Amino acid sequence: MPNIKSSVKDVKKSAENRLYNKAIKSEVKTTLKRAISAIEAQSADAADYVKLAASKLDKAAAKGIIHKNKAARQKSRLAKKMAQAGE
């Protein structure tokens, strides 16, 4: 347990940030799963889900919650699945 007042605040803040980041990561994962299942089911609104997932990935990468390369890779794989489903 930290003794210095600023260290106590730092621990508190990092715990808050961890919960915030965890919530956003969970939201991104859920959106990705929804998009993938829509693509596999060849749903009419699959394009909307893919667009939403790409948006969430970009926002998470911009905030530094996930790495920008990971966001780009996941978006690329999602677009590839979308293109293959369209064939």
- Domain encompassing residue 67: 5-86
Sequence letter at residue 66: I
Q: What pLDDT digit, counting tens, does each position of 26-84 carry?
A: 999 999 999 999 999 999 999 999 999 999 999 999 999 999 999 999 999 999 999 99
Q: Pick from 27, 35, 45: which is nearest to 79 by CA?
A: 35
Report the number of distinct structural domains present in the chain: 1
Closest CA to 74 of 35, 19, 23: 35
**CATH code at position 36:** 1.20.58.110
The pLDDT value recorded for residue 86 is 77
Q: How far apart are CA 7 and CA 13, in angstroms?
A: 10
What pLDDT score was predicted for residue 87?
64
CA torsion sign, 48 to 34 to 66 to 70? Answer: negative
**Contact in structure between 68 and 61 (CB atoms under 8 Å):** yes
